[in-house]
Amino acid sequence: MKQLNFPGQTNFYKGKVRDVYTIFDKWLVMVSSDRISAFDVVLPRPIPYKGQVLNQIAAFMLNATKHLCPNWLTDIPAPNISIGKKCNPFKIEMVVRGNLTGHAWRTYESGKRELCGVKLPGGMSENDFFKTPVITPSTKASEGHDQDISKEEIISSGLTTKDEWKLLEEYSLKLFQRGKEIAAKRGLILVDTKYEFGKIKNEIILMDEIHTPDSSRYFYIDGFEERQEKGERQKQLSKEFVREWLIANNFMGKPGQQVPEMTDDWVNAISRRYIELYEIVIGEKFVPVSLNDDEIYNCILKSLSQLPELTYLKVE
């Protein structure tokens, strides 16, 4: 979609998958596009309804956890649009892991028994549950890849104070527990996820999307123990299938590599998978909505007219 312009707009940022408008330096309008990224690269073709899927899952999860932790979201004026408070972000991601999977497993398999300052017990196999969830934070890089960091390094470098870290840790574990409860009702295991936080004055606020298949990893409960016993791969619910397709076609975002051709059939297949993800995670039938730029603009404008600074706007 084209770049829009709103009353009181003070900034615009085009991210990998979202367009973000800042209003009066106090509010954010996030338009979730159908762009898709992998290995820090935006792929050449959009995926129909992907933006709507992720935005609606995030809204569902934020509303389901707002009693545990204040969050940034104030309105969903359209299925692919979120409006909320602008926060001063902490430059870290709170990565919570319930199972030894992904980066944690690769670290463990290499022989290391510590990740981000967290001691890992011996004798574990890939995808085993930790006795209790662990937090393995990473830096939030403005460019390039995020880097592992320990709690001690975060506090000593001034990325958070000791008291701030304590609250971030408390919020993250409560959010993860709630996410696991929601997932279990849908026959899923919330394996790992990430949370981003910021501050407004002295209040810590949960930001961005949570518990979506782009920011989290889910396993199916049914057959989990049997697959573990046999050493088989776990059945996974995430966008990992896109990464696997890219790897199978010799693309991992490295210099000189070319993104493989995305045929109409493959684009539509990815769209169907995202819709399936929505219906499994939320437990509701997905209702696709297509809006043109003018309709998106009017939806946003109507929502913005409720802000104290923009009550003068007359929007029908």
Cα separation, 134 vs 302, in Å, equals: 42
195 or 213: which leads in pLDDT = 195
Cα separation, 195 vs 192, in Å, equals: 10
pLDDT score recorded for residue 315 = 62
DSSP 160: S
Q: How large is the average pLDDT for residues 269-282? A: 92
- Evaluate if residue 94 carries a pLDDT over 70: yes
Q: How large is the average pLDDT for residues 257-279? A: 94
> Which of these, 248, 193, 245, 247, lies nearest to 219 by C-alpha position?
193
Contact 257, 251 (CB under 8 A): yes
The tens digit of pLDDT for each residue in 61-73 reads: 999 999 999 999 9
pLDDT score recorded for residue 208 = 92
Q: What is the mean pLDDT of the chain?
A: 93
Sorted by where each starts, the structural domains of the chain and their CATH numbers stand as 9-87+265-310 (3.30.200.20), 89-237 (3.30.470.20)
Contact 176, 190 (CB under 8 A): yes
Q: 171 phi and psi, to 5 degrees?
A: -60, -45
pLDDT score recorded for residue 227 = 97
Burial 71-102 (b: 16+ CB within 10 A, else e): bbbebbbbbbbbbbbbbeebbbbbbbbbbbbb
Count Cβ atoms below 10 Å from residue 51 Cβ, excluding itself. 25
Residue 245 has which token pair?
């397709």
**Which element (helix H / strand E) includes 272?**
helix 264-282
Contact 263, 47 (CB under 8 A): no
pLDDT score recorded for residue 160 = 97
pLDDT score recorded for residue 209 = 93
The fraction of the chain above a pLDDT of 70, given in percent, is: 97
pLDDT score recorded for residue 309 = 79
Half-sphere exposure of 49 (CA within 13 A, CB side): 18
Half-sphere exposure of 25 (CA within 13 A, CB side): 1
Task: Name every residue whose Cβ is closer than 8 Å to that of residue 195 and which is 6 or more positions away in sequence.
Answer: 93, 94, 96, 171, 172, 175, 206, 208, 210
